[in-house]
Amino acid sequence: MPRNAIWFFGDQHRGQALGFLGDPNLHTPHIDRLATEGLVFTAAYSGSPLCSPARGSLMTGRYPHCAVPGHEHPLPDGQKTVADVFKERGYRTAYFGKWHLDGFKETESARAAMHIIPPDRRRGFEEWVAYENNNSPWDSWVHGGEGGNAFHRKLPGFETDALTDLLIEFLQTQQDGAPFFAVLSVQPPHDPYAAPAGWMARHTAGMVVLRENVPAVPRVVERARRELAGYYAMIENLDWNLGRLRAALDETGLTENTNLLVFADHGDMLGSHGQFRKTAPWEEATRIPCIVGGGLPHYGDLTGFSDIPLNTVDLAPTTLGLCDLDPPDWMQGTDLSWRRRPDRPRVEPPDSAFMQIVIPTGHGDSVDRPWRGIVTRDRWKYVALEGQPWLMFNLNEDPLELVNLAHDSAFGEQRAHLQDRLRRWVEDTGDEFPLPVL
């Protein structure tokens, strides 16, 4: 029997903000249960900690410089997506929520939530209840259909709740045995950091336990506490909706035959190292949750933790593999489905994750120049600006990235080794980036 797949992901949900990994601020029973029953990639990274480039890589299995290089840049004309592949192989495809890949340039007078993406630019998704971009979870507008059936309407209540309702309604119609691939992409826990009142009541700024790499600078601490209170409330609401989704899978009899992948597009600094938001190479912005659950009726429970470096470009080919479909040659990512499915062909896993900011946004709270970086399986991170080493950390001994070794001559040999690996990533992917001369 063909296997289904669901992607369930939020925006700016950093990999440290998980109850089962020890974040003391969070109560996430449904995510924790999925992690216990499934496979957790503990070294999952966003190939670009910025919405549009990360989403471009998710959809295409291609690196940002080959797909979507910058903020509000569109998917290239003619570029197929993972939905096209599923559709070509007989799957129903459905997308609910944030897209951010049509290239709409938002201004004060032109709101992306009101932008209608026509059917010929929905990139292989047949069922479409989505929006381009929106930073207002109580004023979220979605569109879909075509011709006389086209619609554009405001969602009722809080965005995450309403979009989960729509996915559940979709599942209730998928009981005829035809396989499907569905995506639920919600804006929370992206700023503004506010959830429904019941969830906000669980968190107050004064009770937030900050990460130890948030510096004791009053303006940083005050802002971090205030924003994190809402951030954690949004994640707990997201967790509750995951529980609703899993209950619906049980009720419809789809649980055992549906692969459920929970992840994020990128993370959020939220005061660590004195920084906020995204585009930065530190762990809080680049490391993401990634849990693969469900879909194992015949193979037993392959659960636990994997330290294989997983990049956002790997999620599309891995999802295809989980559904017994071979990824197309144009995908640059690696099919890691064998780590969950022993009947799948074993592919040599990557020794590192390659990360990029190709085109800086120019926004506040963002890194203002391009960079390239890697995180290796033996837990070293190296990041370079154009012509200049920037950051180097031994994450084994320094997981909070407090000691930058990039300019320490005692670690010159290690820096040269890491830059050589970064150079090979640049060359092998057809990137153009002026690495430092060491």
- Average pLDDT, 10 consecutive residues per value, the chain (438 residues): 92 97 97 95 98 98 98 97 98 98 93 96 98 96 96 98 98 92 98 97 97 98 98 98 97 95 98 98 98 71 85 98 97 96 91 98 96 98 98 98 98 98 98 95
- Residue 405 contacts residue 411 (beta carbons within 8 Å): yes
Taking CA atoms, 267 is separated from 88, 172, 187, 188, in Å, by 32, 32, 12, 12
- Token pair 């090979």 is at which residue? 424
Peptide linkage before 192 cis (omega within 30 of 0): yes
Whole-angstrom Cα distance, residue 437 to residue 132?
41
Taking CA atoms, 345 is separated from 82, 329, 334, in Å, by 20, 16, 12
Strands 151-154 and 304-306: unpaired
Give the model's pLDDT for residue 295: 75
Kindly report the number of other CB atoms within 10 A of residue 1's CB atom: 10
Give the model's pLDDT for residue 177: 86
Give CATH for domain 4-351: 3.40.720.10
- DSSP assignment letter at 336: -
The model's pLDDT over 253-279, given as tens digits with 9 standing for 90+, comes to 999 999 999 999 999 999 999 999 999
For 339, half-sphere exposure in the C-beta direction (CA atoms, 13 angstrom radius) is 27
Whole-angstrom Cα distance, residue 1 to residue 280?
43
Kindly report the number of other CB atoms within 10 A of residue 329's CB atom: 6
The model's pLDDT over 115-153, given as tens digits with 9 standing for 90+, comes to 999 999 999 999 999 999 999 999 999 999 999 999 999
Q: Which of 23, 76, 4 is nearest to 236 (CA)?
A: 23
Element (H, E) at 322: helix 315-322
Give the model's pLDDT for residue 300: 47
Determine if the pTM surpasses 0.95.
Answer: yes
Q: Which of 330, 401, 8 is nearest to 166 (CA)?
A: 8
Both tokens assigned to 34: 């999925």
Give the model's pLDDT for residue 2: 75
Spell out the long-range contacts of 70-75 with Cβ–Cβ below 8 A and sequence spacing 24 or more. 70/358, 70/359, 70/360, 70/361, 71/359, 71/361, 71/363, 72/100, 72/103, 72/104, 72/105, 72/106, 73/103, 73/359, 74/101, 74/102, 74/103, 75/101, 75/102, 75/103, 75/123
Give the model's pLDDT for residue 297: 52
Domain with CATH 3.40.720.10 in the chain: 4-351
Give the model's pLDDT for residue 298: 46
